[in-house]
């Protein structure tokens, strides 16, 4: 990882913390003594920082270099293990990591899950340019509360694999297909797994069980509707 790549990873981590509400530009300015306009230009990609200033940011936010190092996974977010054949390993992470962290840090991984690598390789991406920089596949576990209204498709303690390189409303199976899309969606700080329809710049979230009411989700601030799609659900593992 060169200096420019390091800056990009620091920028992404700070933006993640700001989006989660745990950091603000004004707080960061107070912590580091760096002016808000200077920090804002950096966060918006309009300028880079000196090594000394970058060091101030890392110390103020207690970010270790090891937290920013690229993981062993390849660009697709899938690690192929030669010892066990063509097996893809996907990190199981917390919901917040899946929603907000472009690069999955080693400290964020609960464990690695194994799936047929060919199944993952054949999945087609369709995402915004910014999302292409994210590690692609992550898995999350769903609680009984998370799957209310989604039974029997999803059961308590189900694990779902998110393809974070698919945050498009275009039907994966082609125009005219009646197959509904199942997405992981960011609703404020929560991760929801729902069927999603795009309606007048808003998202309509539907459950598997029609007796549960749908939910209308509207982007806030600088978010676009696509930003609220954490990824398409690529695989479901219901542990009985």
CA 58 to chain centre: 22
Q: How far is CA 55 from CA 14, 16, 69, in A?
A: 13, 18, 16
Give the pLDDT mean for 99-127.
88
Contact, 188 vs 203, CB < 8 A? no
Contact status, residue 227 vs residue 130, Cβ threshold 8 Å: no
Q: Where are the domains of the chain?
A: 3-68, 79-237
* 8 A C-beta contact, residue 78 and residue 108: no
- Is pLDDT at 79 greater than 70 in this prediction? no
- Protein fold of 79-237: Umud Fragment, subunit A (2.10.109)
Average pLDDT score, the chain: 85
| CATH classification code of 3-68 | 1.10.260.40
d(CA 83, CA 18): 40
> What value does the mean pLDDT take over residues 225-235?
92
Beta partners for 88? 80, 115
Tell which residue, 196, 20, 204, has the closest CA to residue 99: 20
The proportion of the chain whose per-residue pLDDT surpasses 70, expressed as a percent, equals: 90
Mean pLDDT of the region 75-87: 48
Instruction: Give 239's pLDDT tier (boundaries 50, 70, 90).
Output: confident
Asked if 16 and 61 count as a contact pair (C-beta separation under 8 A), the reply is no
**64 vs 70: which has the higher pLDDT:** 64
């Amino acid at each position: 990882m060169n200096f420019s790549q390091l800056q990009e990873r620091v920028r992404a981590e700070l933006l993640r913390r700001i989006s989660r509400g745990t950091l603000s530009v004004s707080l960061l300015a107070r912590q580091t003594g760096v002016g808000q306009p200077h920090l804002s230009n950096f966060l918006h990609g309009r300028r880079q920082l000196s090594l000394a200033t970058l060091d101030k940011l890392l110390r103020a936010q207690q970010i270790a270099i090891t937290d920013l190092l690229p993981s062993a996974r390849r660009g697709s977010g899938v690690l192929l293990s030669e010892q066990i054949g063509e097996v893809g390993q996907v990190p199981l992470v917390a919901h917040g990591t899946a929603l907000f962290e472009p690069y999955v840090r080693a400290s964020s991984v609960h464990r690695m899950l194994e799936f047929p690598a060919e199944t993952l390789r054949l999945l087609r991406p369709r995402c915004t340019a910014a999302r292409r920089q994210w590690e692609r596949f992550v898995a999350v576990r769903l609680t009984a509360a998370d799957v209310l209204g989604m039974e029997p498709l999803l059961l308590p303690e189900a694990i779902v694999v998110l393809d974070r390189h698919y945050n498009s409303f275009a039907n994966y199976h082609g125009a005219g297909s009646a197959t509904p899309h199942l997405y992981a969606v960011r609703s404020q700080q929560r991760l929801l797994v729902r069927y999603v329809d795009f309606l007048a710049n808003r998202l309509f979230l539907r459950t598997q069980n029609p007796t549960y009411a749908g939910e209308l989700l509207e982007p806030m601030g600088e978010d676009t509707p696509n930003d609220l799609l954490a990824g398409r659900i690529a695989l479901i593992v219901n542990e009985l």
